Amino acid sequence: MSWAQALFRPHHVAVYGSMGEGKIGRVLIDQLLAGGFPDVIAVNPKGAADEGVRAVSSLAELPAGGPPVDLVVVASPAATVANVLEDAGQAGVKAAIIVTAGFAEAGDSEAERKLLRIASQFDLRLVGPNCAGIVNTKHNLFPTLETRPPSGDVAFVSQSGALGGAVLSWAEEQGIGFSKFVSYGNGVDLTDIDFLDALREDEETRVAALYLETVSDGRRFMDAARRLAAAKPLIVIKSGRSESGSRATVSHTGSMAGADAVFDAALRQCGAIRVDGIEAMFDLCRGFTSLPPVRGPRLAIVTNSGGPGVLAADAAERCALDVRPPSGALRRRLEDRLPPFCAFDNPFDLTVQGGEDDYRDVLIDVLDEYDAALAINVNVPYLDSAPLARGIVDAARATGKPIAASFMAGRPAEAALPVLRVGGVPNFATGERAVRVLAWMCERERVVERLRRSPGWMAADESSSAQLSWDRTPLEPEAMDWLEDLAFPILEHRWVRSAEEAVEAARSFGRPVAMKVVSPSIVHKSDVGGVITGVAGAEEAAAAFDRLHVIGGSDFAGVLVSPMIGDAVEVLVGVSHDPQFGPVVACGLGGIYTEALDDLALRVAPIDADEALSMIDELRGAAILRGLRGARRDAHALAELIARVSDLPGRFPEIAELDLNPVFLLKSGCAIADVRLVRRDPATEEQERTPT
């Protein structure tokens, strides 16, 4: 029996804890019984229990050969939990839910590690400690202190017990049913990753939702999340956005890639849908569990009032749905059917005279050439809304295509709601919320296709890992030579140590040059005047060298001379190291733009060129990198470069940060004009590997 079976489909359940009135042990047993679980055993020193509940002081007292206890729920005091696990382990129990608090969250991590040591002796898997329990509605299993939710197709895994409880309490009002619920508390053993794997295989779960504060292991989380997302929608609420930007690192790229931005990129790479809060999660769950797939972005809005129709159309365009007008043929068909005062441009406005037949027939007609529809009913008090709902339900059945409803509002629309519910048409408080769901569902189809094509990132090939040839941070020209040896496109340049050499280098290029100071102690060269551009002629070159010499000070290590590039866009490409996800690759507009516009695309590395192209397109400045107003830009060469750079930290594990800034993006190809490489500091590395 797997841990998942023991946890979610146990034969027998035992509860360790006091059976006194109002005690948690007793509440848990009451919940289990009230939820319909047939056989619960109470375990406590006194062997006490209510009538009808078997009670023992140790599982060892149970007669041999009886049906096994697969799952125990632990609510006894913290100091007793270790003994409880021994007792359960010896009895062959395979899963334990530890509700008891007072472990790592109260500063006692050692006690928690002890539990894990005991459990692993017996192959006993742990949920918790300090958790709110689990639910499997499909097995009438409610070992939790929280509200028993309605049964349904959504599984919800929550790192926060209280938030999980709120979700369960709210579910009925929101029209959501759950297959499974898990609160894993401190997660000493089973965590996010284990439950993602379990939910992927769970045939009773059609949609998985996750509330996260941290992940136990970034890369393994991504693997598990991607596998799940390839099989069913994965909705994630991740709190802690406001912590972003709190990390400080040496390099430019690193300092801009906040922890939350990396998390965001990782979730996108896995195909998970990140939402901002519980309301959006509920909306999405209702869409995914009740609607067929949204195969494309073309949305028809059928309404009986112009205003709400236009508001929904506005919202649809904001989330990239396509509210195009109908074809001529469809328009003529609708004009034949409907009175002339209706609007046929999408939104299709049936006016207040639109009835059951109108909603049904028009929806069926428009879904011939649209991928999804939103049916809005602004209910006037003197009209019966139920027939309109029937028309919509009929259209959904007849077409097999996704139709969301927004029946507004309050009491006049109430009669329609049961009709929609029974008919499987989800109703949303506003058209804006409905279209957001349809847009996410449409995006989901694209994501599934992408996940089938490529994983979004690749496992690093550790067997080929090589060493850097420096035992220190190299100077920029050294790093450039190294990349050139690796066949990266490097801008032609000369590293000079005297004014004479500078003059000679400038002359050799035959056009104005840029000159940059080289010094191990200067990171941001332009901030200290260490970059001089447009240097033309011998006199200027010599003067520029002298100025840079002064700026370089005692650490002066020469000057880098390279030709000015006229028709190019400056781009930044870099890799840095995230404590949770490891190597991360970034790109953005170079110069001051990335920072000024807060516009950086991120991926967990390494990635392929396709994924790199999607990074480029994600930037606000994408049009500039794709070539705007007749200017050709070789975005594919840039994507190729980004992919190759993303591969470097895997091949050279000593790389902590690598900034190519600027890279000149040309009409054809691109050229790296400056390189900064930071080696990993073994001390830092150690720190990162220590779990926090």
What residues numbered 165-194 form the site for its own copies, per CB under 8 A? Answer: 165-167, 169-173
CA distance 427 to 630: 47
Instruction: Decide: is 159 part of the binding site for its own copies (CB under 8 A).
Output: yes
Q: What one-character DSSP code corresponds to residue 60? A: G
The number of residues that bind its own copies (CB under 8 A) is: 85
Which residues share a beta bridge with 299? 372
Which residues share a beta bridge with 55? 42
459-488: which residues touch its own copies (CB under 8 A)?
Answer: none
Q: How far is the CB of 76 from its own copies (least distance, A)?
A: 18
Q: Which of 279, 345, 369, 384 binds its own copies (CB under 8 A)?
A: 279
572-591: which residues touch its own copies (CB under 8 A)?
Answer: none
Q: Per-residue string for binding with its own copies, 288-307, x by CB under 8 A?
A: ----------------xxxx
Nearer to its own copies among residue 354 and residue 474 (C-beta): 354
Nearer to its own copies among residue 59 and residue 635 (C-beta): 635
What 3-state DSSP class applies to 341? coil
489-518: which residues touch its own copies (CB under 8 A)?
Answer: 512
Instruction: Decide: is 621 part of the binding site for its own copies (CB under 8 A).
Output: yes
DSSP 374-393: EEEEE--TTS-SHHHHHHHH
Q: How far is the CB of 239 from its own copies (least distance, A)?
A: 4
365-384: which residues touch its own copies (CB under 8 A)?
Answer: 378-382
Nearer to its own copies among residue 23 and residue 680 (C-beta): 23
CA distances from 28 to 75, 97, 165, 366 (A): 9, 11, 14, 52
Q: How far is the CB of 569 from its own copies (least distance, A)?
A: 9
Nearer to its own copies among residue 589 and residue 641 (C-beta): 589
Instruction: Decide: is 527 part of the binding site for its own copies (CB under 8 A).
Output: yes
Q: Which of 3, 211, 482, 488 binds its own copies (CB under 8 A)?
A: 211
Q: How far is the CB of 176 from its own copies (least distance, A)?
A: 11
424-453: which residues touch its own copies (CB under 8 A)?
Answer: 429-433
Please give the structure tokens belonging to residue 530. 């260490």
Q: How far is the CB of 622 from its own copies (least distance, A)?
A: 8
Contact 208, 157 (CB under 8 A): yes
Nearer to its own copies among residue 341 and residue 472 (C-beta): 341
Instruction: Decide: is 203 part of the binding site for its own copies (CB under 8 A).
Output: no
Nearer to its own copies among residue 277 and residue 400 (C-beta): 277
Nearer to its own copies among residue 635 and residue 648 (C-beta): 635
Q: Which of 248, 596, 683, 690 binds its own copies (CB under 8 A)?
A: 596
Q: How far is the CB of 526 from its own copies (least distance, A)?
A: 7
Nearer to its own copies among residue 243 and residue 685 (C-beta): 243
Q: How far is the CB of 122 from its own copies (least distance, A)?
A: 31
Nearer to its own copies among residue 5 and residue 430 (C-beta): 430
- List CB contacts of 629: < 8 A, sequence separation 6 or more: none
What 3-state DSSP class applies to 71? strand
Please give the structure tokens belonging to residue 601. 């695309």
HEC string of 115-144? HHHHHHHCCCEEECCCCCEEEEHHHCECCE
Contact 359, 392 (CB under 8 A): yes
232-271: which residues touch its own copies (CB under 8 A)?
Answer: 237, 239-242
Instruction: Decide: is 310 part of the binding site for its own copies (CB under 8 A).
Output: yes
What 3-state DSSP class applies to 558? coil
Please give the structure tokens belonging to residue 422. 């029974």
Q: Which of 595, 634, 654, 688 binds its own copies (CB under 8 A)?
A: 595
Q: Per-residue string for binding with its own copies, 385-424, x by CB under 8 A?
A: -----------------------xxxxxx-----------
Contact 362, 329 (CB under 8 A): no
Nearer to its own copies among residue 9 and residue 241 (C-beta): 241
Asked if omega into 606 is within 30° of 0 (cis), the reply is yes
Which ranges of 12-108 does DSSP label H, i.e. alpha helix? 24-34, 81-90
Please give the structure tokens belonging to residue 211. 């509330």
CA distances from 13 to 16, 44, 55, 129, 601 (A): 10, 14, 12, 18, 49
- List CB contacts of 118: < 8 A, sequence separation 6 or more: 82, 85, 86, 89, 124
32-51: which residues touch its own copies (CB under 8 A)?
Answer: none
633-652: which residues touch its own copies (CB under 8 A)?
Answer: none
Instruction: Decide: is 214 part of the binding site for its own copies (CB under 8 A).
Output: no
Instruction: Decide: is 320 part of the binding site for its own copies (CB under 8 A).
Output: no
What 3-state DSSP class applies to 654? coil
Q: What one-character DSSP code corresponds to residue 413? A: G
DSSP 480-542: HHHHHHTT--B---EEESSHHHHHHHHHHHTS-EEEEE--TT-SSGGGGT-EEEEE-HHHHHH
CA distance 622 to 638: 12
Amino acid 356 reads E
Q: How far is the CB of 144 from its own copies (least distance, A)?
A: 10
Which residues share a beta bridge with 494? 561
76-135: which residues touch its own copies (CB under 8 A)?
Answer: 105-106
